[in-house]
Amino acid sequence: MKPPFEKVVAQHGATVLRVVRAVLGHADADDAWSDTFLAAMKAYPDLPADANLEAWLVTIAHRKAIDITRATSRRAIPIADTPDTPSRDHADECHVDLSEAVAALPTRQRQAVAYHYLAGLPYAEIATLLDTSAAAARRAAADGIAALRRTHAPKTESTT
């Protein structure tokens, strides 16, 4: 039985927001989230009842994030995925460092890390999204995590 769309938002809204924040940065995340759920709501009645909702939503979010990145670069504002102020309550210095490190990853690695570690997508599905092989998707995620480990020093006073 297919749940009403309200339940889809309640169940997956937070995960999709995390994914687009990781992929795009905080500044564009709200727009990406809104575009994703509006497109999903439009297509929802035709979605098979047994579809994997989270994978489906991440697929849409992936495309919407690309659209936003393109629109942003057309406006030629050279922001290199710099996240703006991270959320207040959990924003200790360690988090600030790490989210900057995520933002600094190459796009492909950032996407693979977000889709696998934040959304729980298997590498086979990530491979379809990134138009690559499952092995390459797995490698991108592993490289991304390795880079985060290297740059994310446990000592916290490493800001510029």
Footprint of other proteins (CB under 8 A): 1-7, 9, 13-14, 17-18, 21-22, 30, 33-34, 37-38, 41-42, 44-45, 87, 89-90, 95, 98-99, 102, 113, 117-118, 145, 148-149, 152
Which one, 17 or 127, has the nearer CB to other proteins? Answer: 17
Which one, 3 or 133, has the nearer CB to other proteins? Answer: 3
Q: How far is the CB of 94 from other proteins (least distance, A)?
A: 8
Q: How far is the CB of 76 from other proteins (least distance, A)?
A: 27
Neighbours of 94 (CB within 10 A): 14
Which one, 89 or 131, has the nearer CB to other proteins? Answer: 89
Please state, in angstroms and rounded to a whole number, the distance separating the CA atoms of residues 1 and 76.
46
Please state, in angstroms and rounded to a whole number, the distance separating the CA atoms of residues 21 and 85.
12
In the numeric block, which tokens belong to residue 84? 């703006």
In the numeric block, which tokens belong to residue 27? 């500044």
Which one, 18 or 108, has the nearer CB to other proteins? Answer: 18
Q: How far is the CB of 37 from other proteins (least distance, A)?
A: 5
Helices 93-104 and 134-151: crossing angle in degrees, nearest 10, is 140
Which one, 70 or 149, has the nearer CB to other proteins? Answer: 149
CB 102 within 8 A of CB 140: no
CB 72 within 8 A of CB 104: no
Helix (H) and strand (E) counts in the chain: 7, 0
In the numeric block, which tokens belong to residue 160? 């510029």
